[in-house]
Structures are given as structure tokens and as C-alpha cells.
Amino acid sequence: MRIDILTCLPKLLESPFRESILKRAQDKQLVTVQIHDLRDYTTDAHRTTDDYAFGGGAGMVMMIEPIDRCIQALKAQRTYDEIIYMSPDGELLTQSVANQLSLKEHLILICGHYKGVDERVREHLVTREVSIGDYVLSGGELAAAVLSDAVIRLLPGVLSDESSALTDSFQDGLVAPAVYTRPAEYRGWQVPPVLLSGNPAKIEAWRHENSLDRTKKRRPGLIKED
């Protein structure tokens, strides 16, 4: 997979991709993440990426030209499956959306800032718009890092079998069961004895029951009503 991220604040995106699982996925060449500074696609001396809104009003608007020039340069090199604009009014990022995107080969993520992008970017250049939740961030960069993390960890070979994404919360419509590690007792607080029993069938049954209980208590909306 390859993910190209378009931003006017490239520094904001550096560290999330240089650590831990996302770094390892790139080192193993399971994914290429390329961050593009939109200022490099401007044509004026000041390298302007935003301008005042037509009709007035507060806030700057990201201009279409640098975004389009960057997208066209990328499209000349390969075919993109989705060109995604990160926006708080987009489709909500769910596990199901992450699963879908993990099956794609080439993605472009566009990070908005200021009051957003010129609407013509959304009308003519973008194939999909994604939000990471119902709250407003200062820009799309952190949201793009969240989306990338959710997608990259699903790629075959990124996680070990043990930590496989198949056992994640949400992957089966339930939240994950409680986990414990040594010591078995701490300040009198006990680990559930079944987990120390060495009986895999009983442990599996306990985990499933625990998942169901936790989902009902914490996220009742996840339990499908039929």
C-alpha cells in the first residue's frame, strides 16, 4: 500500500509515522507513506496556500491550485483508489471504513486547515470525505494520522499473529475483553482465576462472555438488535 498525505503543515505529521508499528510497517515495506508540503506546489514567490474567502467573512480558505498540482503530479505516477478529504463533516471513520480502505493499493489524504478548502476541491478532485469524530480539530493532520494508523495496522504482516487485528475491539462488533499480566495478585487485587487455569476452552469462553458483558455496559449501541 502507498499513502500520500497533502498538508501545509508537514512537520505535524512526521513523528506519528516514525515510531512503533507505523515505523515498522514502513521498514518492512508493507506501506509507503509520503508526506507532501503543499507549499512546494505553489507558483508565487510567497508560496501561498490560502487566501481570503470570496464574499468575505472570517477565516482563510485553502486554494485549489497547489492541491490540484500535487494531485496531478501524483496521478501521473500511479492510479489512486481513493482521494480522501479529511473533514469534520465527512463520513465517520469506523472499523468498517478502515477495513475497506486497508484493501486499497493507493490512497491520497488531503488535510484541510483554516476555514477549509475551496469547495471545488471537494466537488471535482475528491472521491471520499472522512471525519474521525464529532468534534473539530485545528486541521486534518491528526485525523489523517489516525486514519493511517487504523488502516496500516490491518495490512497483512504488520501485526504479529498474537496481536492480530482480528482480535481487536470492534472487529467482531464487540469491545475487547479485559486483559491482565503478572503479578496474579497486587495489593490484594486478584486476576480472574480462570485465566490462570491453563484451560484454553474455559479461557476462550470467559473472554467471549467478558466481551459481551463489557459491550452491553460500555457500548450498548454496538449490539445489533434483531
Q: How far is the CB of 28 from ligand 6GU (least distance, A)?
A: 27
| Distance (Å) of CA 122 to CA 83, 85, 129, 172, 225 | 10, 7, 8, 33, 36
Specify whether the CB–CB gap between 206 and 214 falls below 8 A.
Answer: no
Q: How far is the CB of 14 from ligand 6GU (least distance, A)?
A: 18
Nearer to ligand 6GU, 133 or 192 (CB): 133
Q: How far is the CB of 59 from ligand 6GU (least distance, A)?
A: 12
Residue with the shortest CB distance to ligand 6GU? 143
* Cell, residue 184: 496474579
Nearer to ligand 6GU, 66 or 112 (CB): 112
Nearer to ligand 6GU, 88 or 173 (CB): 88
| Helix orientation angle between 95-102 and 141-152, rounded to the nearest 10 degrees | 70
Nearer to ligand 6GU, 86 or 174 (CB): 86
Burial bucket for residue 108 (CB in 10 Å: 0-12, 13-18, 19+): buried
Specify whether the CB–CB gap between 169 and 218 falls below 8 A.
Answer: no
Positive or negative torsion for Cα 137, 141, 146, 147 = positive
Q: How far is the CB of 42 from ligand 6GU (least distance, A)?
A: 22
Q: How far is the CB of 140 from ligand 6GU (least distance, A)?
A: 4
| Distance (Å) of CA 8 to CA 36, 76, 157, 211 | 8, 21, 32, 42
- Number of helices (H), then strands (E), in the chain: 6, 9
Nearer to ligand 6GU, 5 or 143 (CB): 143
Query: Can you give the binding site for ligand 6GU, defined by CB under 6 A?
Result: 86-88, 131-133, 135-137, 139-140, 143
